[in-house]
Amino acid sequence: MANMAQAIRMALHYAEENLGVTDVFGEDTGAPLGGVFTCTQGLKTAWNSPLDERGIIGCAMGLAFAGQRPVAEIQFVDYIFNTVDLLKLAGNTCWSSNGDWHLPMVVRSPAGSGIRGSIYHSHSFDSWATRLAGWKIVMPSNPLDAYGLLLAACKEENPVLYLEPKALLRIKGEERIPGEPADDKQLSKMIDAPLGDRSQWKPQWPALEAYVVPIGKGKTVREGDALTVVSWGRLLPICVKAADQLKEVGLSVEVIDLRSLWPYDWELVKGSIQKTRRVLFVNEDTEVTNFGEHLARRTTDELFYELWAPPRVLAGKHLPGIGLADPLEMASVPQLKDVLEAMRHAASLQP
């Protein structure tokens, strides 16, 4: 199976060929590197930009104004912070012009911890992003969803922020992308750029097919009846692992992959909470004014009298950064043991 970086690359290739994507660009996005995580290797519209994040977002907006379909990349989401007012501007362009303009543009950026990336290669942007009204925000947790969500993003007429959980970019999927060859080695040979001189290399793209994960649609990845756990991105597979472990000791946990943070699949979340009467929201962004808090507040507002326990949020610590040393990172963002403990605790609460 393809890993997430390959899935993203194949989605961008499909989008170049079939969805009108005109520019895949950012720092080191074009040849020879094809992205620091290899996500843009071999793409015909990929090009390298100046090391200027504001210029990247601004250029994407300009391209979209002029009828192009750009997919811009911010190399690490830690570096998107100096573009926030441009992101705000992109998000309010349709609204402020009373519908006169709209911006079909995608911004991709690797986010979150898990690669021992220290203070400026580990940050999350999930919660910040959800404050950017006018943007659609997605974050896949596996290669097939990465492919499907990116196709959906490239078909969108509005700005889409596509957050890539960087710790999962090298993880292979469990489901095949339509058109992906059966043999992983064959896929690698076809689309992974060789080491060394790449000047003559050209990818051999498989005959990819459309597969769209609609923006705004979550997915129930484990069914259970004692507790609902809602997560996304890097912590989703950790939640699944924890749920599987707890199932072995008789605790039945339902796990929802939100996939889209805005708009989000409230009906799916709500239905699950009404079934289990307990909910835990898990993500790795810092915990104060965390998006999980919004979900917890909405749960309280709408489902208070149906709950058997207060909604819980497990998130990253409210710290200025994520330290490099292993114990520092592990103490900063939720780990498997933290998720297990939070699940057990949430499931144990009684009215």
Based on CB atoms, which residue is closest to other proteins, 34 or 159? 159
Q: How far apart are CA 259 and CA 227, in angstroms?
A: 19
- Pick the stretch among 87-95, 242-250, 266-274, 302-310 that binds other proteins (CB under 8 A): 87-95
**Count of residues that bind other proteins according to CB under 8 A:** 37
| Contact (Cβ atoms closer than 8 angstroms) between residue 214 and residue 268 | no
Pick out residues in 141-200 that bind other proteins (CB under 8 A). Answer: 157-158
Based on CB atoms, which residue is closest to other proteins, 58 or 178? 58
Nearest to 293 by CA among 307, 321, 264, 314: 314
Helix, strand, coil share (%) of the chain residues, nearest 5: 40, 15, 45
Give the contact letters, 92-111, x = binds to other proteins (CB under 8 A), - = no: -xxxxxxxxxx---------
- Pick the stretch among 1-9, 88-96, 181-189, 279-287 that binds other proteins (CB under 8 A): 88-96
Give the contact letters, 47-86, x = binds to other proteins (CB under 8 A), - = no: --xx-x-xx-xxxxxxxxxxxx-x--------------xx
Q: How far apart are CA 259 and CA 21, in angstroms?
A: 22
Q: How far apart are CA 12 and CA 287, in angstroms?
A: 33
Pick out residues in 241-260 that bind other proteins (CB under 8 A). Answer: none
Q: Taking the complex as a whole, how short is the minimal distance between the CB of residue 54 and other proteins, in angstroms? A: 5
Q: Does 306 bind other proteins (CB under 8 A)?
A: no
Residues 102, 121, 294, 345: which is the catalytic one? 121
Could you count the other beta carbons within 10 Å of the beta carbon of residue 285? 24
Q: Taking the complex as a whole, how short is the minimal distance between the CB of residue 51 and other proteins, in angstroms? A: 10
Long-range contacts, stretch 301-307, CB < 8 angstroms, 24+ apart: 302/270, 303/270, 303/273, 303/274, 306/273, 306/274, 306/277, 307/273, 307/277, 307/278, 307/279
Based on CB atoms, which residue is closest to other proteins, 93 or 299? 93
- Pick the stretch among 109-117, 128-136, 175-183, 225-233 that binds other proteins (CB under 8 A): 128-136
- Pick the stretch among 110-118, 132-140, 310-318, 326-334 that binds other proteins (CB under 8 A): 132-140
Any bridge partners for residue 346, and if so which? none
The pair phi, psi for residue 71, each rounded to 5°, is -120, 105
Could you count the other beta carbons within 10 Å of the beta carbon of residue 5? 25
Residue choice 89, 115, 328, 331 for contact with other proteins (CB under 8 A) = 89
Could you count the other beta carbons within 10 Å of the beta carbon of residue 283? 31
**Residue found under tokens 């006018």:** 134
Is 121 noted as a catalytic residue in this protein? yes
Based on CB atoms, which residue is closest to other proteins, 104 or 203? 104
Q: Taking the complex as a whole, how short is the minimal distance between the CB of residue 50 and other proteins, in angstroms? A: 5
Based on CB atoms, which residue is closest to other proteins, 116 or 294? 294
The one-character DSSP state at 143 is: H
Nearest to 73 by CA among 28, 109, 41: 109
**Residue found under tokens 């499909």:** 14
Sites of contact with other proteins (CB under 8 A): 23, 49-50, 52, 54-55, 57-68, 70, 85-86, 89, 93-102, 133-134, 136, 157-158
- Annotated catalytic residues are 121
